[in-house]
Amino acid sequence: MANSAIEAANTIQQSGAALSVADQIFQSGANMIVLWLLAAATVFQIAELVGVLPPRMSNWINRNRLRETMRLLKEFGVDIDTTKRANRVARLENIASDSLAARVTARLDGTKIGHPVEVGSRLSVPGNHYFDLMGETSDLHRAAVYARDLSALWRSIAGVGGPVANGDIDFIVTPKTGSPLLGACFADLIGKPLLLHNPEAKFRSHLDDPRSMFDFSVRPLPGSRGLLVDDSSTGGGKALRLIDDLRACGWQVSDFIVVFEPQLKTGTSDNASARLAPKGVALHSIIKTT
């Protein structure tokens, strides 16, 4: 009986020793994996810091790092969206909308052509006068003045409490047949690159080359978001062609800002706002003119 007890005890000890060795091997292997992972992470971090990682991998690491930072800030009660909106427009002119409208109205009156005209390419409508802001902004200094007005508008709609949902823009885009100097001055003011849209392709190719429809010095990355800028839009024809070409190149656009919005086509389905809405593009203006 005593011998049986001793044998059982020895068996238990041997099993325990075997388990202990297995546990040690497992733990050693786990520790080795953790050490290798830490070493690999350190190598990647150093490579990212010195700039030797491929851009795509570096961007992926930074996006994940930023996502984790944003999560932690939200947990601490920091309102990221409000802070982001405020910082986005902090250096732009801050002026009340009625004061901005009054300033632009007074200035725009000097561009008025006072005889009857007809406007519109698809649907021609008559008017008693015409505000020639395209002509006015052919002067670089005057274009810069109106660009400042547009920057104040952008502050009010892309800043805290504004209606613009996607205010993180990567470039400015303007029709070449609109007010290109106005677009250039606005782009310079907010520190973004400029794209100019050609009404017709500059060249034909078997490849889909965005340079056939757009003039730019720096090609935006796929998925980049543009802000459409021009002096005005009555029927939205130029803007619609631009939006289609922009999206065909893999870029995004959701907002269009203008100095003034003529109301000649308001009573028709051919007005700019009505035609842009199905495209998911909102038209924003400083003033509306009759």
Q: Which stretches within 76-177 are classed as H helix?
A: 80-88, 97-108, 133-136, 140-158
Residues 6+ apart with CB under 8 A from 276: 236, 239, 240, 243, 256, 282, 283
Q: What is the average pLDDT value for the chain, to the nearest integer?
A: 85
> Rounded distance, CA 62 to CA 71, Å?
14
Assign 49 a pLDDT band (cuts: 50, 70, 90). Answer: low
Tell me which of 44 and 170 has the higher pLDDT: 170
Tell me which of 105 and 6 has the higher pLDDT: 105
So what's the pLDDT on residue 189?
96
Task: Report the pLDDT averaged over residues 174-195.
Answer: 97
Residue 228: enclosing H or E segment and its boundaries? strand 225-232
So what's the pLDDT on residue 84?
81
Percent of the chain whose pLDDT exceeds 70: 78
For 124-211, where are the E strands, in sequence order? Answer: 125-127, 130-131, 171-175, 194-197
Amino acid code (one letter) for 28: S
Assign 170 a pLDDT band (cuts: 50, 70, 90). Answer: very high
Contact 249, 276 (CB under 8 A): no
So what's the pLDDT on residue 155?
97
So what's the pLDDT on residue 163?
94
Q: Which residues pair with 257 in a beta bridge?
A: 229, 284
* Phi (first) and psi of residue 50, to 5 degrees: -90, 0
Residues 6+ apart with CB under 8 A from 127: 116, 117, 118, 119, 262, 264
Q: Domain extents for the chain?
A: 2-75, 95-289
Query: Full-prediction pTM beyond 0.85?
Result: no
* Phi (first) and psi of residue 286, to 5 degrees: -75, -45
Please determine, for residue 55, whether its predicted confidence score (pLDDT) is greater than 90: no
So what's the pLDDT on residue 117?
86
Please determine, for residue 16, whether its predicted confidence score (pLDDT) is greater than 70: no
> Rounded distance, CA 151 to CA 89, Å?
9
CATH fold group of domain 95-289 = Rossmann fold (3.40.50)
> Over the stretch 93-151, which tens digit does the pLDDT of each residue have?
999 999 999 999 999 999 999 998 888 776 777 888 899 999 999 999 999 999 999 99
Tell me which of 50 and 284 has the higher pLDDT: 284
Assign 66 a pLDDT band (cuts: 50, 70, 90). Answer: low
Please determine, for residue 23, whether its predicted confidence score (pLDDT) is greater than 80: no
Q: Which residues pair with 126 in a beta bridge?
A: 118
Residue 262: enclosing H or E segment and its boundaries? strand 252-262
Percent of the chain whose pLDDT exceeds 90: 55
Q: How is the beta sheet containing 214-215 ordered, strand by strand?
A: 214-215, 194-197, 171-175, 225-232, 252-262, 282-289
Q: Which stretches within 51-108 are classed as H helix?
A: 55-75, 80-88, 97-108
From the centroid of its chain, how far is CA 120?
30
So what's the pLDDT on residue 174?
98
> Over the stretch 193-225, which tens digit does the pLDDT of each residue have?
999 999 999 999 878 899 999 999 999 999 999
So what's the pLDDT on residue 83?
81
